[in-house]
Amino acid sequence: MTRRIRLIADDYGLAPGVSAGILDLLDRGRLTGTSCMTGFPEWAGEAARIKPLCGRVAVGLHLTLTDQPAVTGRSSLAPEGRLPPLRALALPVLRGRIDDRDVHAELEAQYSRFVEALGRRPDFVDGHQHVHFLPVVRTWLRARLGEGSDRPALRGAPALAGQFASVPKVAAIAALAAGFNRSMRRAGFTLFEPLTGIYDWRQPENFASVLQAAVEALPERGLFMCHPGHVDETLRARDTMKSVREVEFAVLASDAFGASLARADVTIMDGKG
Residue 65 in this model has a pLDDT that exceeds 90: yes
Examine the pLDDT at 162 and tell me if it is beyond 60: no
CB 267, CB 4: distance < 8 Å: yes
CATH number for the domain whose boundaries are 3-268 = 3.20.20.370
Instruction: Quote the CA–CA distance of 173 and 188 in Å, as a whole number.
Output: 23
The pLDDT-based confidence of 209 (bands split at 50, 70, 90) is very high
Residue type, 172: A
Average pLDDT value for residue range 245-267: 97
Please state the pTM of the whole predicted model. Answer: 0.95
Give the confidence band of 112 by pLDDT, cuts at 50, 70, 90: very high
pLDDT of residue 90: 82
Cα 239 to the center of its chain, rounded Å: 15
Find the mean pLDDT for residues 76-98: 91
pLDDT-based confidence at residue 163 (cuts at 50, 70, 90): low
Nearest residue to 268 via CA among 1, 30, 84, 55? 30
